């Protein structure tokens, strides 16, 4: 296999930059949900975005509904995104993102881990040089509950994640990077 010496075109480079910006939005969204930070979640959406799962319009309303749902139903959560297929068309992108979400929940006085695998189906738009979600649908492919018998050995010695700005990702952020601004 030989490598081509052809330089990428400006169109190819622009597509790579756009796709990375879209991935950054998706990563920021997951951080916001896991840390229950309304501002970070809202920053992933355009101000007039529509979210089908919540039947809501507006980035702030969507973010507040997500945080309310997570804090009402889960002690903690972690979202992981994997396969991200981005189809670009000018200032628009159709994006399918696979995710796995783990939620620590209590049901009938017992602790469970809820595992959900699904896909975000997002219409992204670039407005004023910023990529954001304008429409979202969420598809669940499967979900399950597993009872937690006990925690892992020595888990009491681990640094624990927290909701909000007291989480170590914010609290331990080097001063040279400045405060977190979504």
CATH number at 83 reads 3.10.450.50
123 inside domain:
yes
What pLDDT does residue 13 have?
96
Going across the sheet that includes 130-147, the strands are: 56-57, 45-51, 130-147, 110-127, 92-107, 76-89
Contact criterion met (CB below 8 Å) for 32 and 44: yes
What pLDDT does residue 62 have?
97
What pLDDT does residue 1 have?
43
What pLDDT does residue 5 have?
64
Contact criterion met (CB below 8 Å) for 140 and 116: yes
95: phi then psi, degrees, rounded to nearest 5: -130, 125
What pLDDT does residue 164 have?
87
83 inside domain:
yes
Return the closest-CA partner of residue 105 out of 148, 159, 138, 143. Answer: 148
Contact criterion met (CB below 8 Å) for 39 and 47: no
45 inside domain:
yes
168 inside domain:
no
3-class SS of residue 128: coil
What pLDDT does residue 65 have?
96
Contact criterion met (CB below 8 Å) for 31 and 40: yes
3 inside domain:
no
Distance, in Å, from the CA atom of 46 to the CA atom of 90, rounded to the nearest integer, reads 17
The DSSP element (H or E) to which 60 belongs, if any, is helix 59-73
167 inside domain:
no
What pLDDT does residue 19 have?
98
Number of structural domains (the chain) is 1
Contact criterion met (CB below 8 Å) for 59 and 29: no
Residues of the chain with pLDDT below 70 are 1-5
How far apart, in Å, are the Cα atoms of 54 and each of 61, 63, 88, 99, 116?
9, 10, 26, 18, 17
The answer to whether the Cα torsion of 27, 30, 36, 41 is positive or negative is positive
What pLDDT does residue 95 have?
98
4 inside domain:
no
Domain of residue 83, residue span: 10-150
1 inside domain:
no
How far apart, in Å, are the Cα atoms of 76 and each of 26, 70, 80, 161?
19, 8, 14, 8
């Amino acid at each position: 296999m030989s490598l081509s010496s052809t330089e990428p075109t400006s169109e190819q480079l622009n597509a790579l930059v756009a796709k990375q910006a879209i991935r950054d939005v998706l990563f920021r969204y997951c951080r916001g949900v896991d840390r229950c930070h309304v501002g970070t979640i809202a920053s992933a959406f355009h101000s007039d975005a529509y979210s089908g799962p919540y039947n809501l319009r507006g980035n702030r309303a969507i973010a507040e509904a997500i945080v309310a749902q997570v804090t009402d139903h889960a002690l903690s959560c972690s979202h992981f995104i994997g396969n991200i297929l981005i189809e670009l068309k000018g200032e628009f992108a159709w994006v399918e993102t696979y995710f796995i979400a783990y939620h620590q929940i209590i049901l009938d006085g017992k602790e469970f881990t809820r595992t959900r695998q699904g896909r975000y189906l997002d219409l992204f738009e670039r407005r004023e040089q910023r990529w954001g979600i304008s429409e979202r649908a969420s598809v669940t492919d499967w979900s399950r509950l597993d009872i937690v018998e006990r925690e892992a050995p020595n888990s009491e010695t681990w640094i624990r994640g927290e909701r909000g700005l007291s989480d170590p990702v914010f609290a331990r952020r080097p001063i040279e990077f400045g405060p977190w601004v979504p």
